[in-house]
Amino acid sequence: MTTAPDANPAGPSIPPLGSEQAAVSPPPELAQAMASPLAPGEETATDKQAAAAQGLAEADSSPPSQRPKQEPAGPWPSGPEPPGPVVPGSLPPRSGGPAEATLRELQEQLLERCAALRAEVGALERQRDRLLQEIGATPIGRSELIANRLKGFQSYLVGALQELAAVAEQAELVREPVLVQPSPLDRVAPIEPPPPAAAGLFSQDADQIRQSLARYGGQPDFYADPWKLRRSLEPTAAALLDDWFLNQGGRGAQPSGGSRNRNVLVAAAAIAILGELYGDRFQTLVLAGLPERLGEWRRGLQDCLGLGREDFGPNSGIVLFERADALIDRADRLEERGELPFIVIDAAEEGVAIPVLQFPLWLAFAAAPDEIISEEMLY
């Protein structure tokens, strides 16, 4: 088989082995080695490449049955295409000294590492896609994705709130006023209010008490304000209250009027007068041994003073008791708070408990023998 004559007398031209090898440019050291003059009898790399190209051309012109079988190159891994399908070790060896051999060895190692890394990256990407597809295809996976997003948002909110709290602590929201302590010479001794008149006699309020009693003895005022007497007071009841206020100093027993309704009217007049003198600084405590008697007291005081059910209770103006010990405990607490207890004892009670005598205001009704008998027959 004949070959075509060379066009270049200096040496045969190197035919391209492939698009990939044509794209690879020789390194600077290799170009310098090729440009250096050769010793006599030394063959250049260009001559070797020309001989290799001539052998390839002869192989292509030979029949297909005589051509050597070549194994097809395997597929590249997924990812961006490499710069050229240069298989490590496929390039023909070049002679040019130890520098060229070292450079070529390094180039082959880099190509091997690049191919290995691309294979690993492709495998990891395929594994990631498969996992994402499996997670998104199941309800548990979707819920886990949502939970992860919510957890991330929760972490963001917690961090934002912590930063906001730190900024709020550092910020000066309210400016503290500057307090200047006065000199001891500038201090004025506090003026203590005088003790209530109930601690002694009602002599200073005698005129006001008598005017109120005289007004209550006239026509009843059915439309008076609450805690004002709305019924007429009999002269005997007015005289009884005058004696209790001005002679007994608001502490003592008075004869019963013969019925509970009359006693309720007298106690209501006393409550109205004490309200004019002390305002809301006192509380009325009524002691009656049976619930039926307490019911009569509540209805009578509602009618005489224009009160409602909300005015009877621990935090209201009138409190009803069946036992004396509970009443005494309540009176002690009122005095500790600086309030004034007014104790009213029903005529059906057998006597007055000794601890009641220590309080500044108390009114006990003493029943007649026939009233006691009728109470026992009724209850």
- Number of domains making up the chain: 2
C-beta of residue 253 within 8 angstroms of C-beta of residue 286: no
Residues 106 and 223 in one domain: no
Residue with more model confidence, 125 or 24: 125
Classify residue 36: in a domain, yes or no. Answer: no
Residues 217 and 359 in one domain: yes
Tally DSSP H helices, then E strands, for the chain. Answer: 11, 5
Task: Return the CATH number at 361.
Answer: 3.40.50.300
- Asked if the model's pLDDT at residue 197 lies above 50, the reply is no
Q: Is pTM beyond 0.75 here?
A: no
Identity at 307, one-letter amino acid code: L
Classify residue 71: in a domain, yes or no. Answer: no
| The pair of three-digit structure tokens given for residue 105, joined into one six-digit string | 């060895």
Helix (H, G, I), strand (E, B), or coil: what is residue 147?
A: helix
pLDDT tens for each residue of 105-135: 999 999 999 999 999 999 999 998 888 887 7
Q: Which residues touch 363 (CB under 8 Å, ≥6 apart)?
A: 244, 250, 252, 253, 254, 267, 270, 342, 343, 344, 345
Residues 236 and 322 in one domain: yes
Residues 237 and 323 in one domain: yes
How many other C-beta atoms can be found within 10 angstroms of the C-beta atom of residue 92?
9
Classify residue 44: in a domain, yes or no. Answer: no
- Asked if the model's pLDDT at residue 37 lies above 70, the reply is no
pLDDT tens for each residue of 306-339: 998 888 988 888 999 999 999 999 999 999 988 8
Please state which of the ranges 14-18, 58-62, 189-193 shows the lowest mean pLDDT.
Answer: 14-18
| Domain ranges, residue 141 | 95-153
